[in-house]
Amino acid sequence: MFDKFKEEKGGEMMEERIDENTNESVTVEASPSTESTIGIGELMGKRAKLEEAIDYVGLMIKNLKDKRTMLEKDIEEESVDIKNLKEKLQKVSEYIDEENRGIQELADKRSKVENEADEVGIIINNLRDKLANIDTIVGEEGNRVKQIKESRNNLES
């Protein structure tokens, strides 16, 4: 991260900076350190480098904040999209439940109709048997009446 500060040949300090407007790397010559007995020039040079490093770190922090803000925005958009999808899926689920209830109601109605049809079939069979018994009785009585008529005819003749 701090390797942007390099010492070039000839003992002069060179500083590599990133231009905030263009985000391009720019090499700048640091102010020449003046020799003094207590080294104030070096100390001033180090201070300048530290200020530049702090500016660079500040720029990195700003970039990170911008990226975080973009991520928060993206996450919020995804959250809204997911909530919308969830609502749509809940509506589909409600529709399916409603259709299943309707199908069950139809199945119950069909079952009742089948039971009624079976009851009607039983009634028809019972009535048929009764009619068959009545037909048998009528047939037997008709035969008796015929026999009586024949026996009368035979007696009269």
The answer, yes or no, to whether residue 1 has pLDDT greater than 50, is no
Average pLDDT of the chain to the nearest whole number: 84
pTM reported for the whole predicted model:
0.46
Helical spans, DSSP H, in the chain: 40-156
Q: What is the pLDDT of residues 118-156, one digit of tens each?
A: 999 999 999 999 999 999 999 999 899 989 888 888 877
> 10 Å Cβ neighbour count for 15?
19
The answer, yes or no, to whether residue 5 has pLDDT greater than 60, is no
Under the banding of pLDDT at 50, 70 and 90, the label for residue 105 is very high
Task: Report how far apart the first and last C-alpha atoms of the chain are (Å, whole number).
Answer: 146
pLDDT value at residue 151: 86
- Amino acid 10 reads G
Least confident range of 24-38, 74-88, 132-146 = 24-38
Read off the tokens for 44.
Answer: 């001033």
